[in-house]
């Protein structure tokens, strides 16, 4: 068996009831939700019993997802599975950094609450949407974006899938152009144009928030969305602030991890979106989701028997 990477789920993967099974079967996971409730009362209730509508509000989504992501990783570690590397998709990057010790889990949770609020405010001030573009090359999508003033390539997910963010009217016209070019556009159920210039005010607010946070060197490499290279304490604040207004280079991140010898990826958090993107990027990769007691047991057994 090669090296193991824990990868942390991003926004869009949330669902009602997430995390409850983990909290019940793992003391380490349960402690995450206890910590969250002590800082933001009702967080575990939103995860375990909140509606899809409630969980889809960015100000709720981000703290809730952070908890489930981090809980899954700590449950794995509690079972003796050690990560060699980590990475997270957008919001998931904050959980990855807390897991790796760039900051304490409480600090990460407080930050992610501010991040959700800042991105929600930016989305309301600059309404936009997002769409996944399929069946076109990155270059084709980038060229099409260049024909519009308010449409931007934002999430480089895997070969043949690039997400764009844009102003709603321009995004509609852009999707028509995609169809003409032989591609397919799948609108995403999100509340704003994340990882684009629409998030400039959020980046400025987070830069201010980060000024009061102390960072440490992470105990294992965490690959950044911004440039698909490992975080350092010295660059941590800059990367965290710029991340919300910059593209997520997920395909490059997965390729970089594979080049380091990672052949097993454990997706920590709800859903299995990252598992799918990883398999499309590195076909030989072994991928496992960890989101509840059943998937935790399966992943642990697979890793220990390898």
Catalytic residue IDs: 90, 195
| Rounded CA separation 89/92 (Å) | 5
| Rounded CA separation 191/118 (Å) | 13
For the chain, first and last CA: distance in Å?
Answer: 6
Q: Which two tokens stand for residue 188?
A: 């995403």
| Rounded CA separation 301/44 (Å) | 28
| Rounded CA separation 121/59 (Å) | 9
| Rounded CA separation 216/233 (Å) | 5
- Per DSSP, helices labelled H in the chain are 20-25, 27-39, 43-49, 52-55, 58-78, 92-100, 105-125, 138-145, 168-180, 200-210, 233-243, 250-259, 273-281, 293-305
- Print burial letters for 125-164: b (CB count within 10 Å at least 16), e (below 16): ebebbbbebeebeeebbeebbeebebbbbbbbbbeebbbb
């Amino acid at each position: 068996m090669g090296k193991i990477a824990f990868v942390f789920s991003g926004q869009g993967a949330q669902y009602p009831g997430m995390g409850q099974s983990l909290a019940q079967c793992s003391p380490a996971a349960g402690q995450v939700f206890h910590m969250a409730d002590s800082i933001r009362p009702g967080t575990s209730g939103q995860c375990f019993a909140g509606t899809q509508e409630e969980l889809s509000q960015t100000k709720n989504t981000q703290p809730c997802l952070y908890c489930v992501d981090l809980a899954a990783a700590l449950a794995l570690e509690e079972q003796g599975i050690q990560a060699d590397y980590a990475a997270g998709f957008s919001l998931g990057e904050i959980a990855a950094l807390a897991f790796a010790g760039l900051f304490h889990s409480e600090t990460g949770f407080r930050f992610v609450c501010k991040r959700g609020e800042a991105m929600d405010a930016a989305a309301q001030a600059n309404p936009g949407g997002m769409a996944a573009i399929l069946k076109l090359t990155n270059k084709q999508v980038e060229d099409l974006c260049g024909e519009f003033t308010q449409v931007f390539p934002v999430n480089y997910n895997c070969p043949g899938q690039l997400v764009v963010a844009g102003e709603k009217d321009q995004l509609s016209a852009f999707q028509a152009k995609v169809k003409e070019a032989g591609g397919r556009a799948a609108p995403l159920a999100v509340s704003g144009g994340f990882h684009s210039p629409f998030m400039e005010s959020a980046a400025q607010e987070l830069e201010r928030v980060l000024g009061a946070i102390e960072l440490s060197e992470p105990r294992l490499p965490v690959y950044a969305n911004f440039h698909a290279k490992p975080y350092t304490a010295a660059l941590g604040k800059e990367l965290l602030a710029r991340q919300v207004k910059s593209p997520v280079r997920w395909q490059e991140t997965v390729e970089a991890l594979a080049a380091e010898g990672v052949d097993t990826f454990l997706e920590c958090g709800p859903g299995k979106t990252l598992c799918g993107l990883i398999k499309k990027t590195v076909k030989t990769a072994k991928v496992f989701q960890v989101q509840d007691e059943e998937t935790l047991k399966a992943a642990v057994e697979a890793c220990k028997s390898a």
